[in-house]
Amino acid sequence: IMPQIKMFPAVERIIHIEESIPAGQEVVLLTENAFKIIDQNENIALIHCYCKQEKYLTKDPCKITNNRDICLLLGDSAKFSVKHNFAKLISKEEAKIILREAEDLGLVHKIFKSDLNYGRTIDGICSCCKCCCGVFRYYHNGTWPYQTVTSYIAKVDSDLCSGCGVCVEKCPMENITLQNDVATLDNKCIGCGVCAHNCQDDAIELFRTGPRNVFVPIQKLEI
């Protein structure tokens, strides 16, 4: 090490506390469950999606929709954002229309809380795509693993599947492949319901599992 560098203060320190600290996680929701959260809140605001706005400003806009007004803030977060003029209050009915339209586009509903502190109340609902959402993007480009909480898992009825491939295209985790012209899911299912909602054959069904953690390791990228 160069002598002058030795004089610099440490920029990082590991503190051993010898106890586990739960990491903050996102939670994937079906549209019907998102509706229940909307019904529990009197203050709802519509705001620009941060991720879609970032992609728009960097000249790489969303490949699914041009609409960036797609994220919802709730409760005190909604009131604060409206007060400072970067969101607008909307009705519960308007919020549900936005969520349903997002579902039709193949977006994934996720709740979020400030600082990923899951002791807090829900601050908002995102509707995410794999081309803009930072969590999806960083997983797909090999930066970090994907971790979430979900309550459902998708299963395919091979007798009903026509092998059209729509679910292969829509799955945000790229979890579905066609094998012998039948959709096949691996263990990366996050229970978002995008495949089931878009299946024209009604061959994909969601089964309730109860809350479960999904951890998908960083995928191996071809170099």
Query: What domain count does the chain have?
Result: 2
Kindly report the pTM of this predicted structure: 0.83
Same domain flag for 139 and 167: no
Same domain flag for 190 and 82: no
User: Does residue 3 sit within a domain?
Assistant: no
> What CA–CA distance (Å, rounded) separates 113 from 119?
9
Last residue of a domain, one of 144, 164, 182: 144
Same domain flag for 203 and 132: no
73: nearest Cα among 35, 50, 45, 96: 45
Same domain flag for 31 and 136: yes
191: nearest Cα among 169, 177, 207, 202: 207
The pLDDT, as a whole number, for residue 2 is: 44
How many helical (H) and strand (E) elements, i.e. helices and strands, does the chain have?
8, 10
> What CA–CA distance (Å, rounded) separates 112 from 99?
15
Contact 209, 146 (CB under 8 A): no
Predicted confidence (pLDDT) per residue in 24-65, tens digit: 468 999 999 999 999 999 999 999 999 999 999 999 999 999
User: Does residue 61 sit within a domain?
Assistant: yes
Domain that holds residue 80: 25-144
